[in-house]
Structure 1
Amino acid sequence: MENNQQTLKSSMKTRHVVMLSLGGAIGAGLFAGSSSAIQAAGPSVILAYLLAGLVLFVVIYGVGQIVLHQKTKSLGMSGIVSPYLGERFGHFTDWVYWADSMAVMVAEAAAIAQFLHVWWPQVPNWAFVLGVAILTLGINLYSVRVFAETEYWLALLKVLVVILLIVIGFWFLMVQVFHLGFQSGLSQMNQHGGFMPNGYKGIFNAMLMVIYSYGGSELIAITVSEVENPKEAIPKAIRGVMSRIIAFYVIPMFLFLELFSWQFLSATKASPFVLIFDKFGIPFAGDLINLVIILALFSVINSMIYATSRSLYACVQGSKHGFGRYLSKLSRRQAPVRAIAFCAGVLFIGVVLSYIFGNALFDIMAGSISYTVLITWMMLLLASIVFYFREGMAVWKKIVSLITLVILLVIAYNLVISNPIGITLFALVVCFLSFISFSKSK
């Protein structure tokens, strides 16, 4: 059952990593959360998506540069961070990413329960959460390849839905231009208070939801240890980041804002995707998008179990005693099955929490995702900055990375002042415990 060779098996192919990074950037934030971003910034939300996309690209580009210069495969976030910021900060990054991602995973499961409850109101939410926990545990325990294939097809489904939306949206936009003329037909977003109704502050406030939407793209750093050829797969996934941001966020946002007023989009509870498909007359559009959102949320949970189990394994690898030694054992398939089971076990705790708190559970826990993404991005960016200076890289890489770090600090400030104090305190406690828990001896 167990394997004494403490090396994760290289089971993931380049196409898996490319589609994982693609699926990570297309989640429930796009399908269901875009209304909040539009409410904060109005039409200038497009700039928020572009700016956050540039920040993400700079961060992931730095990860790619580090991977290309590594002589051995890294393990977890710490494998990227530790060589440049030290083992303590590598350990800190792994645990922060693990702890907050577990909270996000429970929140996403609670959200799935809410969407399923629309179809089966007689079934309690906790029962849906239980079903999600069992399914994701089985997929991740079976093999890395099964996980990768599952995520590949889920990501592909999300991509196809977005492409369909773009095609339909452009059709309506052409009809609008035909009736109103070229200039009037392409300037509808500026007819309701201008392009920036809430100023620059609105853009940075919208970026809180945008960062949430992009969270998951940093999963690229986790996959390094299980990719057959990371020096081919990781750069290929990174090169497409900005094109994916433009194709799957900026273009849909442009279509939404040209076809509907931004006040309507920010006030309605319906997903903009539902509005587009309804406008086209597609039967059961609401049910179709409801299903896609459920699959998108399931995809996030599936990825989170993968990512958090590898982060946990990276934290406990080499432990000589106690629970850490137990969790560090690999299966015959060279998979961290005990770490997977432990992380999935937290999802079963979510079943109990869902029973106790009901719908409030999602609001309590989901707010933490922006913190975990920001902290993780900052640590990866800091590691790449040190790498650039240590290796004597081009000056422009250093300058761009430092400017990006300043932007992340501004976003972090807006996150603190806009989030409920309870969520901020929770994030601080997680960071404090993650930092002081480091021990060289394990």
Structure 2
Amino acid sequence: MAKSDFKENQDGTYRSLSNRHVQMIAIGGTIGTGLFLGSGSTISKTGPSVLIVYLVLGLFFFLMMRGIGEMFYSDPSHHTFVSFITKYLGNAAGRFTGWTYWIGLVFVCMAELTAVATYVKFWFPNFPSWIVELIFLVVLAGVNLIAARFFGEAEFWFALIKIIAIVALIVTGIFMVLRQTSTPLGHASLTNISHNYQLFPHGAFNFISSFPMVFFAFQGIEFVSITIGEAKDPRNVIKKAVNETLLRILLFYVGALIVIMAIIPWTSVTPDNSPFVQVFELAGLPAAAAVINFVVLTSAASALNSAIFSAGRHFYQLATEAREGGVLKKHFAKISKTGVPATSILLTAALVLVTPIMSLSAATGSVFTIVTGVSSDMYILVYALTMLAHRKYRKSSDYLENGFKMPWYNVSSPLTIAFFLVIFISLFFIQEDIIGAVGAIIWAVVFGGYVVLTQKKLDQTHASSN
């Protein structure tokens, strides 16, 4: 299709993403690599109680998405949910959140690019990682530079591969349970889930510490909202994408975990092995490890693709909100002829190019791990600020009484904010998360303070010039 076939936004971007693209992007954003590789760790920690963890977190992420969806429904012209923070909480909060979220996305790109090279080594152990990283980065940055619909098409197929893998697991599991297939671990049966059930099989601490693990598995679920500014039918698309969030979590996470524990007794699940590989091996698929490795490779490539898309839009948003005459406004508040923020995408890709350096020394890798942990923890504060912006929206003249409203707002809104803060506080009781949580607080105080002070100076300068 020619770009003239799509509606052009005022800023030069095009509404070229179809409902098919956005719905698959929503599904892809819900399913992370953590499900395929990390679910063994959470099951081994909590046993069948892991289902409770996923249900609780799934409910709160659904409520957050309803809050974000309500704001986008009222004004679908925005490219990112962060712009609502600027609109309703002020320029300082918007700048802090925008920069924090964008930096976090850059580190997500780096982490996923590193993961891609690791998964490729399964087949080509002697092939240099930096070449693999360079190839994937150039290809996916190129996809994002061509047009939004090319990005959407890539995500459609990436998401489809993940869906096929999960549906195959569930169908295989149901077949094995119905036949009560005998395996070296026993018989496939739903009674494997309830047998010797305990709410805290390895103590209350392990149960509580699984909440942050699952929280980070869901992280990025908000990504679908960033596509609304370039979707053909934004209001209908956002309602469908958000409303099905909880259903997707129930099917793809809870459904998959039930099948896994029905086939592999939860006492036999180990944190070091992928339960998906184990299930397919028990079902008689000799190439199970290679198949799942291919799925997680596409999952990491999908996450990288999405992070590049999102980072480009967020940096473009920062540039458009920058002061007149500044470097950001001059060079990055631009949309290319193909309808994408090309300079912002290129800057993100250029920064991600330093990823191969991370493999040069263990010390550099350790620093990278720490910084990635800090940026991940900052997302919790970003989510909380987003919900605070939603509360301001509810009190503003923009509020649509007959819009796409967050359910049970008076209770669900404060409860969701409180839950995010509880998750953040819980990080201080988990040894491996303490450094990231402390780093997030330092970032919030130092960078947040800097943003507030510079914003005050900008406001004073603006007021005196008028």
Which TM-score applies when normalising by structure 2? 0.86
Where does residue 289 of structure 2 map in the other structure? 286
Match of 2:114, SS? helix
**Aligned pairs (5 A) from 1:267-278:** 267=271, 269-278=272-281
Where does residue 301 of structure 2 map in the other structure? 298
Where does residue 414 of structure 1 map in the other structure? 426
**Aligned pairs (5 A) from 1:196-207:** 196-198=200-202, 200-207=204-211
Where does residue 24 of structure 2 map in the other structure? 19
Where does residue 463 of structure 2 map in the other structure? none
**CA separation of 1:89 and 1:342: change in aligned 2, threshold 3 A:** same
Displacement of 1:353: 1.9
- Note the alpha carbon deviations across 1:272-292, whole angstroms, 9 max, x for none: 111111111113111011011
Which stretch of the first structure deviates more once superposed, 131-140 or 184-193?
184-193
Q: How many residues align?
A: 435
**CA separation of 1:434 and 1:225: change in aligned 2, threshold 3 A:** farther
Displacement of 1:366: 4.6
Displacement of 1:297: 0.4
**Aligned pairs (5 A) from 1:27-426:** 27-70=32-75, 73-176=77-180, 185-192=189-196, 194-198=198-202, 200-267=204-271, 269-319=272-322, 320-324=324-328, 325-357=330-362, 363-368=369-374, 370-390=376-396, 391=399, 396-418=408-430, 419-426=432-439
AA aligned to 1:291 is F
Does residue 428 of structure 1 match 2:417? no
AA aligned to 2:420 is L
**CA separation of 1:261 and 1:372: change in aligned 2, threshold 3 A:** farther
Displacement of 1:30: 0.7
Instruction: Note if contact 2:380-2:420 (Cα within 8 Å) is conserved in structure 1.
Output: yes
Displacement of 1:360: 5.2
AA aligned to 1:280 is A
Which stretch of the first structure deviates more once superposed, 41-50 or 365-374?
365-374
- Note the alpha carbon deviations across 1:420-440, whole angstroms, 9 max, x for none: 444334433543426634666
Displacement of 1:121: 1.6
Aligned mates of 2:126, 2:367 — CA distance in 1: 19
Instruction: Note if contact 1:41-1:202 (Cα within 8 Å) is conserved in structure 2.
Output: yes
Where does residue 14 of structure 2 map in the other structure? 9
Instruction: Note if contact 1:192-1:261 (Cα within 8 Å) is conserved in structure 2.
Output: no
AA aligned to 1:91 is R
Instruction: Note if contact 2:68-2:81 (Cα within 8 Å) is conserved in structure 1.
Output: no
Match of 1:49, SS? helix
Displacement of 1:377: 2.0
Displacement of 1:313: 0.6
Aligned mates of 1:212, 1:429 — CA distance in 2: 20
Identity value in percent: 28
Aligned mates of 2:418, 2:158 — CA distance in 1: 35
Aligned mates of 2:103, 2:45 — CA distance in 1: 28
AA aligned to 2:414 is L
Aligned mates of 1:395, 1:291 — CA distance in 2: 39
RMSD: 2.8
AA aligned to 2:62 is F
